[in-house]
Amino acid sequence: MKLEKVDWDSYYDKIDGRPPRPLLRSALTLYPAEPTVKPRQAVDLGCGDGTDTVFLLENGWQVLAIDGEAKAIDRLLAKVPDELKENLQTRIARFEEVTLPAADLIHASLTLPFCHPNHFAELWQKIVASLGVNGRFAGQFFGIHDSWAVNKHMTFQTEAEVQALFSSFSLEHFHEEDAPGRSASGPKHWHIFTVIARKK
Ligand SMILES: C[S@@+](CC[C@H](N)C(=O)[O-])C[C@H]1O[C@@H](n2cnc3c(N)ncnc32)[C@H](O)[C@@H]1O
């Protein structure tokens, strides 16, 4: 897969109608159900087709949805009910130059590996800085056995490298998958770390 050739709009077509990511559902169960003084702030980093942003809005969150593709934001805006729009901000920005607000949750399903490796450390610093104490990160990283790891424009990490990112967090979920499977573009070997972590 050549990153510069990814047709994200046809990816959004292929996953049209998907349910919210199980990772995000799991992360939301970790927040107390009682109402907060003001709505919690989430960032959906690489929001794609917008399904997870809508799920967050429906669960009472304020959301900043960010994606490098204008078509992702268009799809999201078409999905959001009018009454939830006041809790949504959107931004078209690349991970390599994004700025992040203070947040209670950063959700990044299947997105951070698409950050260019030369910019990953800076992006991760921004993620850590945007989360306050008890703020959560819920997201994924690709491992070095992944069949896309030949792509020099993407970021692939060892388990030790992923673990090292979380020195200022308590890990609440850490799962490694290293197995053949399928992506929206066909068969592939998945090597993926799925993490939920709370900032100390
Ligand atoms: C595999 S999709 C995942 C989308 C969504 N989070 C999901 O779970 O379906 C990756 C998303 O990241 C966005 N993306 C890829 N590279 C990016 C970059 N360098 N900067 C900003 N967004 C990027 C794409 O436009 C796409 O929407």
Taking the centre of ligand 1 as the mean of its atom positions, its distance from the CA of residue 36, in whole angstroms, is 30
Range 41-199 has CATH code 2.30.30.30 = no
Pocket of ligand 1 contains residue 115 by CB under 6 Å: yes
Q: Can you tell me the distance from the alpha carbon of 152 to that of 34, in angstroms, rounded to the nearest whole number?
A: 45
Give residues with Cβ within 8 angstroms of 98, minimum separation 6: 45, 66, 91, 123, 126
Give residues with Cβ within 8 angstroms of 196, minimum separation 6: 23, 26, 27, 30, 136, 137, 138, 171, 172, 173
pLDDT (mean) for 141-152: 97
pLDDT (mean) for 49-77: 98
Pocket of ligand 1 contains residue 68 by CB under 6 Å: yes
pLDDT (mean) for 47-63: 97
Reported as type and span, the H/E element at residue 101 is none
Give residues with Cβ within 8 angstroms of 116, minimum separation 6: 95, 96, 153, 154, 155
Q: For the chain, what are the domain ranges? A: 41-199
pLDDT (mean) for 66-86: 98
Backbone conformation region of residue 110, classed left if phi is above 0, alpha if psi is from -120 to 50, else beta = left
The mean of the pLDDT values for the chain is 95
Give the global pTM. Answer: 0.97
Split at pLDDT 50, 70, 90, the class of 121 is very high
